[in-house]
Homo-oligomer: A and B are copies of this chain.
Amino acid sequence: MATEIERKFLVTGTQWRAQVTATRTICQAYLARAEHASVRVRVIDGRDARLTIKSARTQISREEFEYPVPLSDARAMLSLREGGLVEKVRHLVPAGGGRTWEIDVFAGAHEGLVLAEIELEHAEERFERPAWLGREVTGERCYGNAALALAGKVDAA
């Protein structure tokens, strides 16, 4: 179990592309969501699969339980999903101080949306804000992965 403290932003430029250190393709969906927990299946680069239980968010932190699962199980579970598949390419960009920006470029139903996330040790921790960083959307439900899986297209503006 890990406790996740993340902040999430819209991305307004492309200058980050010059600093990408790694890229992976993610296809994910939610199996079920309840008052206190959501259950996600994720396939990474068409090769690795994970089952993840996340507690409901309390402000910006949440508990997360993640387990590797066989790829064939994950593919079968994706067909049991609630809502749509979310497809995105995740780019890792150094954020300074040993931290990393995860920049998700969405495809499919959410093409045009680009979100940047940074994981922090403490809720109040400071971090550098690069020029391409747009409006903060931490805690805005419509930009949460579960909401993206259920909703139609979200405006990137």
A contacts, CB < 8 Å to B? 1, 30-39, 51, 53, 55-56, 63, 65, 67, 69, 72-73, 76-77, 80-82
Contacts and interface: CB of A to CB of B under 8 A. Distances in A.
Contacts of A39: 31-32, 37, 39, 53
A136 to B, nearest CB: 27
Contacts of A31: 32, 34, 36-37, 39, 53
B32 A73 contact: no
Residue of A33, A34, A76 contacting most chain B CB atoms (<10 Å)? A34
Nearest to A70: B1
Contacts of A55: 80
A4 to B, nearest CB: 14
A89 to B, nearest CB: 27
12 contacts: A1-B72, A1-B73, A31-B34, A32-B33, A32-B34, A32-B37, A32-B39, A37-B77, A39-B53, A51-B51, A65-B77, A67-B69
